[in-house]
Structure formats: structure tokens, C-alpha cells
Amino acid sequence: MYYSEYEHLIEMPDEIANDIEFLTDINGTIEAEVYKRLTSHINDYNRDMKRFKDSQVEIERLKAIINQSAREAKIKQETVKKDAFSEGKKSVLGGFEKGCTAWVVRSRFEQEICPKCHGDKTLTVKHEGSEMTVPCVVCKNNGSLTKWIYEAKQGVVEGFKYSIYGNGNPNIELDIKVEGERSSNMFQTFFSTKELCEAHIKNMRK
């Protein structure tokens, strides 16, 4: 028969059976170790991913805090700049600012009767027994004199103009609305008190 000559192989020798059992045990051990390591790596990965996600959340939280702090710092900086500019501008303008009171010199003229000809425009001159009429030398034949009146007037500062002359000196003008006047005007000479303004007028008359 065809199989008769291989019948002695049907029963497995003990050596081979032992080897197969050993290999089976080794294979099981390897599979268990591989499973253990894979499980450990998966757990490490999941733990790292959780840490990563937690760190991302923390990073976003810190970013929000930083951005908020930056916004607040910018607002504070702008406020400080604005206050410093206002104080600097006020200092440059001699303490004046929009809305405050200022005193200025306003002038007007009045006509008064000539004290020499008393409004007659002429004078009678006697010379060597004769009389002659000549134009009044004081009012120049007008009969009156123009008298300038200088007054201290109160007003409110509505704005300012700051410029630099070619020689480097500053030029400061205040836009002041004087009481009783329809519109504001630019003034280069202005005072903080009425007393200072009147003292200036006295010096003008000298």
C-alpha cells in the first residue's frame, strides 16, 4: 500500500512533541509580552494625548489672559499718553485749555471834541494887529479827535493754534470767544486774570 511505508511517522516522537509544546509556550509568552507592551504603549499614547489636550486648553487660557493683559496695557498706555499730552499741551499754552477763562485786550475808538478848537475846526490867530483864521493844528480841521479806548475783556477758550517760527520760537494763538461778541477770534496776547490784563494796558499807554 502507498501509506504502509510511512506508517512509522503517524506516531509523533516525544522529542518533536516536546519541541512543539515548548514552541507553543514560547509563542504564548511572546504574544502575552507583545500584548502587554502594546497595551502599555496605547495607554502611554492616550495619557500623552490627554496631557496634550489639557496643555492646549491651558495654552489657550494663557493666551486669553495675555491678550486681555495686552489690551488693558494698551488702553492704560493710551490713557497715560492722552493725559501726558493734555498736561504737556496745557503747559505749553501757559496753563490754558479748552473751556477755561482768558482775559484779552479789546480796543475801540471814540470821537471827542477837539480841546483846542472846541469843534470849530479852525483857530483865530492874531499877528501884528491882524487876525486870520487857520485850520486847527490839533484836530487837523476835523473838529474832533479819535481816542482809542483799551479794555480788559473776559472770554472763553475754544481752541488753539500752535506753530513754530523759522527761527525756532513757538507761536501760540488761542481761539477766544469774548463776552458780548458774536464769534471767536485768534489772540496771541492773553492773560489768566483781569489784573494782569489791565497791567498790560497800562504799559501800552506809557
* pLDDT at residue 89, rounded to an integer: 59
Rounded to the nearest angstrom, the gap between the alpha carbon of residue 7 and the centroid of all alpha carbons in its chain is 106
* Average of per-residue pLDDT values in the chain: 79
Within 10 A of 114 (CB to CB), how many other CB atoms are there?
20
Residue 157 pLDDT more than 60? yes
- Which tens digit of pLDDT belongs to each residue from 51-77? 888 888 888 888 888 888 888 877 876
pTM of structure: 0.47
Residue 191 pLDDT more than 60? yes
Select the more confidently predicted residue: 2 or 187: 187
pLDDT band, residue 38 (cuts 50/70/90): confident
21-30, 34-43, 60-69, 100-109: which has the highest mean pLDDT?
Answer: 100-109
What is the three-class DSSP state of 190?
Answer: coil
Closest CA to 102 of 201, 200, 192: 192
* pLDDT at residue 102, rounded to an integer: 94
pLDDT band, residue 24 (cuts 50/70/90): low
Residue 109 pLDDT more than 70? yes
Residue 32 pLDDT more than 80? no
pLDDT band, residue 3 (cuts 50/70/90): very low
Extended strands (E) in 15-143? 101-113, 122-127, 130-135
| Beta partners for residue 164, in sequence order | 170
What is the three-class DSSP state of 93?
Answer: coil
Q: Which residue has the cell 493666551?
A: 63
* pLDDT at residue 20, rounded to an integer: 53
